[in-house]
Amino acid sequence: MAKTNLTDRTVQAAKPKNGKRTYFWDSKVTGFGLRIETTGSKIFVVKYRFKGQQRMVTLDRYPSIT
C-alpha cells in the first residue's frame, strides 16, 4: 500500500508489483486510490467505513476518468 500523489503521470507509470493486484493510495485525499489488476487494468476506487466496516467502491477505469 504505497501512498503517493496520484497525478496523470504517476497513474500512467504505475504497474502491478510481483504480478499481484496492487493499490496506490492518494497522499492528499484520504480513501482515494488506484487499483491495478494483474492484467494491468487501472481502476479508481474509494475506501470508506460504514457502521464500523470497511468498504470499497469502484469509480471507473483509467483513462475514462483522469
pLDDT level of residue 1 (50, 70, 90 thresholds): low
Q: Are 42 and 36 in contact (CB under 8 A)?
A: yes
Confidence (pTM): 0.86
The grid cell for 1 is: 500500500
Cis before 63 (ω within 30): yes
- pLDDT, tens digit (0-9, with 9 covering 90-100), for 2-27: 688 999 999 999 998 888 999 999 99
What domains are there in the chain, each with its CATH number? 2-61 (3.30.160.390)
